[in-house]
Amino acid sequence: MTNKKLDIEFQKAVSRVNAHTAPFPADTLLKLYAYYKKATNDYGRPKSKKPIINAFKTNALFQAKNISEDEAKQMYIDLVNNYFLYRK
């Protein structure tokens, strides 16, 4: 997939997630968070008011530390597509 096509598909996946009103499972949310942060090169600290949430987000980022921005975009796209395909 070309970089331009990857960027377009990534933005579509982000829009799809943002438009979704039902809650996502916690493990899916953490993966989406980590992949999004890696894909957008945003390395700011988690900003939840609850320390436990920040710990989970930090752990998710740590687990995604060795993937590239393009890999993170593709993983985000795949996760979103699979979630909407298999959710009940």
DSSP assignments along the chain, one per residue: --HHHHHHHHHHHHHHHHH--SPPPHHHHHHHHHHHHHHTT--PPP--SSHHHHHHHHHHHHHTTTS-HHHHHHHHHHHHHHHHHH--
- Structural domains in the chain, CATH included, are 3-86 (1.20.80.10)
* Whether the Cβ atoms of residue 76 and residue 39 lie closer than 8 Å to each other: yes
Summary mean pLDDT of the chain:
92
Instruction: Answer yes or no: is pLDDT of 88 > 70.
Output: no
pLDDT band at 45; cut points 50, 70, 90: confident
Q: What is the distance between the alpha carbons of residues 54 and 76, in angstroms, rounded to a whole number?
A: 20
- Mean pLDDT within 64-75: 96
pTM reported for the whole predicted model: 0.91
- Mean pLDDT within 79-88: 88
